[in-house]
């Protein structure tokens, strides 16, 4: 209630000056209805559109509203005739991705895009040519961002700026939903003038501009101390700005979809992350898929648990599959495996419990996998276990057996482990191994 009063007071104060000037009666038009039809607002008449749209499938507002609607209908319909004529609230025009309404996840994505495109087109109609539109968007999934970008571009908008802002309180419904990022991304858009624009080339033009924009924004975000997942999402915003400015983008004969821009941004973020964590000793190209994810997970959470959704999100951005593999398996560059913590042969680097993942500690990994390591991460775990059993001589022999005696990337990994694993004993041990090596 105090929030409602606060918001009401804020709006009233905004209008006070106009009221004093006698302008109040025509200064404010308030309408209720789907934003796909802003009836009563003349074309090119407003200076700014400020929008906080639904974040894809995050909150089903109308389904939640029904809970209150049916009670309000019984208590308020005499006072407000016409407000409660419908049986329940309108679901069809709600701009959300709702598989229950649209039959499937694919149908829900298409309907969200269609409704958002209608809203953006209507916003463009009422905005003055030099006007601006801002929206907030807080979602971790690449699908949600792709859909939003398609809708914006198709409705004739360019993204002109993108900035993460810490805005939602820890207890909001959005925040409790795992799909939500901790920061809200503010996106500013301008009506696109594409009259003299010809298609841009992905390989020679857009990709390199996008890479520089993402590196620049990562440097800029440093002061904001974003968590790595938010850093990734904020970087998508920047990548999509470059993409929308150059749209349509071609790679040979193929049209490049916005997902390519996001994947490229994710690659740059992972590259920066790996190099930052290892103090420049390891690059993303030195690492196989499992070691790459292990390094990033270590950087985000140490040895603690993290949401399965976060890992899934990363797998989509970094182009690998996340799969349960109990027992031994052959690693490949498009697979990162996890095993149940109770599995007797824990060859995978990640343990699953409920909807949380964590890194297995070296001593928890299957001895057979460490004897026959397939990834740099296996080798790091084997090195630590061997050192505990037989000191530096055993550790050196282990590395020599696997031809990695002087491997710089492995030493980099050992440094990341020493810096990021959150148990003092393990850190001291890693520093000692590094020193003795």
Ligand X SMILES: C[S@@+](CC[C@H](N)C(=O)[O-])C[C@H]1O[C@@H](n2cnc3c(N)ncnc32)[C@H](O)[C@@H]1O
Q: How far apart are CA 227 and CA 300, in angstroms?
A: 7
Q: Could you tell me which of 341, 316, 345 has the C-alpha nearest to residue 329?
A: 345
**Cβ closest to ligand X, residue 32 vs residue 42:** 32
Q: How far apart are CA 44 and CA 32, in angstroms?
A: 20
Residue of 56, 57, 94, 362 interacting with ligand X (CB under 6 A): 94
CA 404 to chain centre: 36
Residue 120 sits at φ, ψ, to 5 deg, of: -65, -35
Task: List the beta bridge partners of residue 335.
Answer: 321
**Cβ closest to ligand X, residue 112 vs residue 320:** 112
264 binds ligand X (CB under 6 A): no
Q: Which span (28-36, 318-326, 329-337, 387-395) binds ligand X, by CB under 6 A?
A: 28-36
**Cβ closest to ligand X, residue 60 vs residue 275:** 60
35 binds ligand X (CB under 6 A): yes
Residue of 52, 205, 254, 363 interacting with ligand X (CB under 6 A): 52
User: Beta strand pairing status for 335-340 and 321-324?
Assistant: parallel
93 binds ligand X (CB under 6 A): yes
Q: How far apart are CA 73 and CA 215, in angstroms?
A: 53
Contacting residues for 417 by C-beta, under 8 A, at least 6 apart: 298, 380, 384, 426, 430
Residue of 61, 69, 84, 186 interacting with ligand X (CB under 6 A): 61
Minimum distance from residue 371 beta carbon to ligand X (Å): 53
Contacting residues for 365 by C-beta, under 8 A, at least 6 apart: 346, 347, 349, 378, 381, 385
| Helices 228-246 and 258-277, packing angle to 10 deg | 140
Q: Which span (47-55, 152-160, 226-234, 289-297) binds ligand X, by CB under 6 A?
A: 47-55
34 binds ligand X (CB under 6 A): yes
Minimum distance from residue 4 beta carbon to ligand X (Å): 10
95 binds ligand X (CB under 6 A): yes
Minimum distance from residue 308 beta carbon to ligand X (Å): 25
**Cβ closest to ligand X, residue 122 vs residue 273:** 122
Q: How far apart are CA 124 and CA 38, in angstroms?
A: 11
113 binds ligand X (CB under 6 A): no
370 binds ligand X (CB under 6 A): no
69 binds ligand X (CB under 6 A): no
Minimum distance from residue 98 beta carbon to ligand X (Å): 11
Query: Contact residues for ligand X (CB under 6 A)?
Result: 34-36, 52-54, 61, 93-95, 115
């Amino acid at each position: 209630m105090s929030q409602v009063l606060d918001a009401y007071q804020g709006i009233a104060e905004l209008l006070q000056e106009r009221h004093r000037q006698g302008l109040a009666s025509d200064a404010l038009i308030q309408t209720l209805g789907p934003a796909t039809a802003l009836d009563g607002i003349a074309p090119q008449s407003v200076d700014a559109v400020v929008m906080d749209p639904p974040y894809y499938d995050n909150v089903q507002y109308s389904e939640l509203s029904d809970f209150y609607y049916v009670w309000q209908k019984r208590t308020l319909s005499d006072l407000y005739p016409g407000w409660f004529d419908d049986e329940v609230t309108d679901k069809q025009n709600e701009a959300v991705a709702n598989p229950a309404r649209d039959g499937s996840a694919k149908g829900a994505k298409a309907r969200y895009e269609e409704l958002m495109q209608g809203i953006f087109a209507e916003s463009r109609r009422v905005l003055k040519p030099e006007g601006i539109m801002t929206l907030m968007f807080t979602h971790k999934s690449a699908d949600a961002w792709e859909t939003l970008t398609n809708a914006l571009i198709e409705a004739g908008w360019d993204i002109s700026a993108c900035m993460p802002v810490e805005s939602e309180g820890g207890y909001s419904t959005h925040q409790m939903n795992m799909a939500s990022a901790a920061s809200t991304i503010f996106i500013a858009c301008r009506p696109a003038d594409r009259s003299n624009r010809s298609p841009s080339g992905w390989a020679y033009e857009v990709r390199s501009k996008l890479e520089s924009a993402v590196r620049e924004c990562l440097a800029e975000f440093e002061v904001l101390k974003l968590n790595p997942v938010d850093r990734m999402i904020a970087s998508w915003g920047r990548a999509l700005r470059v993409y929308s400015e150059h749209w349509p983008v071609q790679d040979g004969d193929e049209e490049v979809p916005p997902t390519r821009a996001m994947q490229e941004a994710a690659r740059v973020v992972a590259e920066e992350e790996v190099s930052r964590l290892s103090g420049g000793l390891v690059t993303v190209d030195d690492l196989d898929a499992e070691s790459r994810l292990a390094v990033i997970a270590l950087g985000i959470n140490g040895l603690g648990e993290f949401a399965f959704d976060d890992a899934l999100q990363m797998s989509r951005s970094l182009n690998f599959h996340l799969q349960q593999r109990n027992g031994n398996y052959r690693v490949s560059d498009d697979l990162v495996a996890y095993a149940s913590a109770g599995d007797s042969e824990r060859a995978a680097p990640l343990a699953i419990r409920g909807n949380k993942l964590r890194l297995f500690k070296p001593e928890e990994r299957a001895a057979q996998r460490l004897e026959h390591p397939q990834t740099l991460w296996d080798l790091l775990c084997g090195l630590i276990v061997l050192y505990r059993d037989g000191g530096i001589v055993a550790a050196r022999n282990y590395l020599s057996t696997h031809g990695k005696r002087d491997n710089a990337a492995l030493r980099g990994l050992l440094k990341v482990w020493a810096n990021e694993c959150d148990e003092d004993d393990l850190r001291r041990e890693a520093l000692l191994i590094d020193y003795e090596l």
